[in-house]
Amino acid sequence: MTLQQCTEIKQAFNNLVKIEQSLTISQSIEQSPLIVSEGRKLDVLPQIIRVIEFFLAVTGKEMENFQIQILAGDLYEKFKTDTIDDVVLMFKMARQAEFGKMYSFDAMVVNDWANKYLEVKSATREKLLKKKAQPRIESETEKGKYFHELPAEIQEKFKKIGKPKEEQAFLTPRITEMMTSEKHKRDIQKLIDEDEKP
């Protein structure tokens, strides 16, 4: 978002109204350029000042020009690794009382809003990262592999697991099956004998 072209305040405010209506934190994270990449500090400050002036006009709050400039500088420092859209969203959320009721308006209150907004943005970023990682994990776990598709070292480990211990090496599968069958017969006979006892 750039408000630099908007020299007239009404035009800038109209642009901000349009931007605010469809802007989300997710869009800010995924699509908007960082403030530091938009040029020098002197190029970006007028945009932040326009956002502050818009907020003041909408809420009916007042601030001296020098206070607005100082606040814009503070917000630049706070959001330089974020976007102008984040500044817009922060003021929108504050106006909608998402950070609590607004009893006063000064630089300390705005810095508190900025901290709360950045926490919300961080949580949103985490959700987006989890959502992007989730399909990859699901697709890897859903798609099973055949034994011959596994890496050789894993195949060897599975083969070792299936081998009988050295002291049991003399038992062939046929002998093991016969012994198991005989044990089952004895267990069943034992149950029958117990039922026949008076």
> Would you state the pLDDT for residue 143?
59
pLDDT at 122: 92
Rounded CA-CA distance 140/46 in Å is 49
Q: What is the pLDDT along the chain (198 residues), one digit of tens a residue?
A: 445 444 577 777 877 777 888 888 888 888 878 887 777 888 889 999 999 999 999 889 999 999 999 999 999 999 988 989 999 999 999 999 999 888 888 999 999 999 999 999 999 999 988 888 776 655 555 556 677 777 888 878 777 776 655 544 566 777 778 888 888 888 888 888 887 776
Alpha-carbon distance of 177 to 172, in angstroms, equals: 9
> What pLDDT is recorded for position 138?
55
Q: 100-117 burial, b if ≥16 CB within 10 A, otherwise e?
A: eeeeebeeeebeebbebb
Q: What is the DSSP string of 131-154?
A: HHHHHHHHHHHHS---GGGS-HHH
Q: What is the pLDDT of residue 36?
A: 76
Q: What are phi and psi of 125, to 5 degrees?
A: -60, -40
- In Å, what is the CA distance from 172 to each residue of 33, 35, 153, 163, 176? 70, 73, 26, 11, 6
pLDDT at 103: 85
CB-facing half-sphere around the CA of 198: CA atoms within 13 A = 0
Tokens for 190, please give them: 């034992």
The pLDDT score that the predictor gives to residue 119 is 94
